[in-house]
């Protein structure tokens, strides 16, 4: 029994020492992360606080705007011509489709008028 108690105490002592070492390692890691966070915040502040950065960004945007304006005009012209070509192609097709569908619509309308007249006559006959 004494041997068992002695072994248990030794095991608890080893476990406590291991946990203490893990806590120390965790403390070091936490300190390292805090230092890195502070350094990143400081570096970012220096970069964003640089007044020259805003000027460089503005210059970059202006230069690229000048380069892209002719390209935008080209794209716009190409879109206009593509739209014109599509209109020229689709207009005859739409007119042809309308010419084919119009007689069907007129026939359907006549059938509906006939059905409506029959219903009206039947309703009058029932009402008398």
Q: What is the pLDDT of residues 35-54, one digit of tens each?
A: 888 887 887 777 777 777 77
Neighbours of 109 (CB within 10 A): 10
Indicate the pLDDT class of residue 104, thresholds 50, 70 and 90: very high
Residue 103's pLDDT is what? 92
Nearest alpha carbon to residue 34 among 45, 24, 42: 42
What is the C-alpha to C-alpha distance for residues 69 and 61, in angstroms, rounded to an integer?
Answer: 12
The H or E element containing residue 128 is: none
Best mean pLDDT range from 15-29, 55-69, 95-109: 95-109
Cα-based angle 5, 9, 13 (whole degrees, multiple of 5): 170
Residue 8's pLDDT is what? 62
Residue 109's pLDDT is what? 94
What is the C-alpha to C-alpha distance for residues 96 and 5, in angstroms, rounded to an integer?
Answer: 102
DSSP-derived letter for residue 46 is: H
């Amino acid at each position: 029994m004494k041997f068992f108690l002695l072994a248990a105490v030794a095991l608890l002592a080893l476990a406590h020492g291991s946990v203490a070492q893990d806590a120390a390692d965790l403390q070091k890691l936490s300190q390292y992360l805090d230092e890195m966070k502070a350094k990143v915040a400081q570096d970012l502040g220096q970069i964003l606080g640089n007044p020259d950065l805003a000027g460089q960004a503005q210059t970059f945007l202006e230069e690229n705007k000048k380069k892209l304006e002719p390209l935008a005009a080209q794209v716009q012209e190409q879109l206009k011509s593509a739209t014109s070509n599509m209109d020229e192609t689709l207009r005859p097709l739409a007119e042809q489709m309308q010419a084919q569908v119009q007689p069907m619509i007129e026939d359907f309308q006549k059938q509906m008028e006939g059905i409506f007249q029959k219903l009206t006559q039947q309703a009058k006959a029932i009402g008398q």
